[in-house]
Amino acid sequence: MFRGRRLVNLDDKGRLAIPTRYRDELQECCEGQMVVTVTVNERCVGENGCLWLYPLPEWEKLEQTISKLPTLNKMAGKLRRFVIGNASECEMDGQGRLLLPEKLRIFAKLEKKVELVGQLNKFEIWNEEAWAAKENNWLDGDSEGLEDLGPLTF
């Protein structure tokens, strides 16, 4: 379970260091094998995108779900082409770093400082400034759609 957020740096080669607190769990659940792809979430896409980073077993569950979508459904086809087509396998090295493909770094406008945001079964990887802008927007009262969550209470 991945929760919380961490500000991390990308090195000159585009490698992201996974925070130490997650490394053992990632070694245990997937031997450091991860998959990174573009997002299709409305809060991430657009001019300030982010990436999804999945441990391999979680990614394989998502692939199974997507593979069961109707082949002739136009939206399912777009989803397969966009999410699966942009997916890239990456492996944590001995220092806990992952190399993010340049194309995906460009998509999400990732620069030196990025936010790694836990989302239970995956991470989101955000440009630091884009994350701050979204967070400010949420804090300023953007709760549209909250009522759609039904009986969820805090």
**CATH numbers and ranges of domains, the chain:** 5-140 (3.40.1550.20)
* pLDDT for residue 49: 76
* pLDDT for residue 146: 59
User: Quick count: other Cβ atoms within 10 Å of Cβ 53?
Assistant: 25
Rounded Cα gap, residues 30 and 63, in angstroms: 16
Nearest to 6 by CA among 19, 22, 24: 19
Rounded Cα gap, residues 139 and 74, in angstroms: 35
- Per-residue pLDDT tens digits for 21-40: 999 999 999 999 999 999 87
pLDDT mean for each 10 residues of the chain (154 residues): 94 96 95 94 61 97 94 90 94 96 95 95 95 86 64 62
* pLDDT for residue 7: 96
Sequence-distant (≥ 6) Cβ neighbours of residue 18 within 8 angstroms: 26, 92, 96, 97, 98, 116
